[in-house]
Structure 1
Amino acid sequence: MDDLVGTQEPIIRLADPAEAVAALERAVPGLAALRLPASSDIAWSEVEAELGAVLPGDYKRLCELYPALEFNDFLGFAGPEPGHEHRWIRGRREELELIAEWCEEADLAVPLHPYPAPGGLLPWASSNEGDHFLWTTLGGPDRWTVTVASRNGGWWHYTGGAVQFLADLVSGVLEPWGLPPLRPEARKW
């Protein structure tokens, strides 16, 4: 049976994308060494037009500064690649089909729905064990929260942004609720 485990909140929500990335770099020693030599020129207007939504600034900043990353050999994060943005869009659409099935099968008191439903769930990362990290698309994109859909059936929310979620998860500030504890390690994925 699926259930909503609960909601975790950051002490302070990091609204500035640069501040969120800096928090992640502090949480993961050596992460800054993986930065791209120059900021990626991702065609965000193309991505967002195709998707039908403006994406959060912290996510876009992390994608511009870093290649695809894997945290602790568990959580994979990859943004659109310049010139191949359509692949990222296609990947999100495929993940949305899976998320639609999970939402349909979930036995939650308040049903969740995939994007593009109002407030729908939009995937931004996944684990190598089948966990999904999603945005709940309520309000403006920089107010979206994170929803975790665990492979073991537990669902939970984090009221900060995606990059702050990564920093808080890796640093141990968050209870991992159904996820393994993560060491502060990252590598190119």
Structure 2
Amino acid sequence: MEELIGTQKPACRILDPDEARAVLERLVPGLVALRRQVPAVFDWRVVEEEAGSTLPSDFKSLAEWYPAFGLDDFLGIMLPWPGEEAVRAEAEGNRSERWVSDYPADLRPAELISTTLIPWGDSMEGDQFFWSVLGDDPEHWPVTVCSRNGPWWHYEGGMVQFLAELCDGVLEPWALPPVKPEITGWAVEGGGWHQTA
């Protein structure tokens, strides 16, 4: 069984999704080049039915303004593509693999054995990033990190604030390498991926 090594808390939790996105944009300057001219329109009802839960507003705001993207050839942020909500749900059943963590319960820390984990990112090296569904309010779900090296840990801020603080070096990366604030790839229409040179 793995170990939950601790919880980090931001100095000030950002609850406004637009403010959190603006902080990430400031700390990852290349991100702004990917920003859509107008926010994408999602049928969040379909996405959330597929996920099995309402999703945090900072995630939805990020998805409306940006495609899925990669940071520092390390961390991939999984965001839905506009217009593909119903197609994926129909093709994959009510709840797709995208929203279901298949991380075996017997390999989780004891504190997380019965916790629903919803994945939102992963690394090129096998690290996984989730929301721990603790309570009915997705705005207060912690980010949970599963390091490929074994340790698990929580961050008690939103997913977008987590990315900003990880790239800024404010967050102690506990069992992760430092992540530079560099965009190294992003999703393109049709399901492809553009990698920076």
TM-score norm. by structure 2 comes to: 0.84
Residue in 1 aligned with 2:193?
A: none
Question: Are residue 172 (structure 1) and residue 169 (structure 2) matched?
Answer: yes
- C-alpha displacement of 1:38: 2.3
Question: Are residue 96 (structure 1) and residue 101 (structure 2) matched?
Answer: yes
Residue in 1 aligned with 2:68?
A: 68
5 Å-filtered alignment, 1:81-120, equals 81-85=81-85, 86-87=87-88, 90-93=96-99, 95-97=100-102, 99=103, 101=104, 103-106=105-108, 108-113=109-114, 119-120=115-116
Question: Are residue 4 (structure 1) and residue 4 (structure 2) matched?
Answer: yes
For 2:183 and 2:45, the matched residues in 1 are separated by 29
Q: Which amino acid aligns with 1:110?
A: E
> Structure 1 residues 124-133 or 84-93, which shifts more?
84-93
For 2:154 and 2:166, the matched residues in 1 are separated by 13
For 1:177 and 1:33, the matched residues in 2 are separated by 30
- C-alpha displacement of 1:109: 4.2
Question: Are residue 125 (structure 1) and residue 125 (structure 2) matched?
Answer: no
For 1:79 and 1:120, the matched residues in 2 are separated by 19
- C-alpha displacement of 1:24: 0.5
Residue in 2 aligned with 1:59?
A: 59
Q: Secondary structure at the match of 1:156?
A: strand
**Identity level (%):** 51
Contact 2:16 2:58 in 1 (8 A): yes
1:151 to 124, 148, 173: 148
Q: Secondary structure at the match of 2:157?
A: coil
- Structure 2 gaps of 5+ residues are 90-94, 187-197
> Structure 1 residues 33-42 or 154-163, which shifts more?
33-42
For 1:3 and 1:184, the matched residues in 2 are separated by 29
How many residues align structurally?
179
Q: Secondary structure at the match of 1:133?
A: strand
Q: Secondary structure at the match of 1:80?
A: coil
Q: Which amino acid aligns with 2:106?
A: E
What is the aligned-residue RMSD (CA, Å)?
1.7
For 1:35 and 1:187, the matched residues in 2 are separated by 15
For 1:19 and 1:38, the matched residues in 2 are separated by 17
Q: Which amino acid aligns with 1:157?
A: H
- C-alpha displacement of 1:30: 2.3
Residue in 2 aligned with 1:19?
A: 19
Contact 1:80 1:87 in 2 (8 A): no
- C-alpha displacement of 1:83: 2.2
Residue in 2 aligned with 1:79?
A: 79
For 1:31 and 1:83, the matched residues in 2 are separated by 22
For 2:162 and 2:68, the matched residues in 1 are separated by 17
- Structure 1 gaps of 5+ residues are 114-118
Contact 1:74 1:128 in 2 (8 A): yes
Contact 1:170 1:184 in 2 (8 A): yes
Residue in 2 aligned with 1:116?
A: none
TM-score norm. by structure 1 comes to: 0.88
1:111 to 1:21, Cα distance in 2 relative to 1, 3 A: closer
Contact 1:112 1:121 in 2 (8 A): no
Query: CA-to-partner distance for each residue in 1:162-182, whole Å, 9 max, x for gaps?
Result: 000000001000011111101
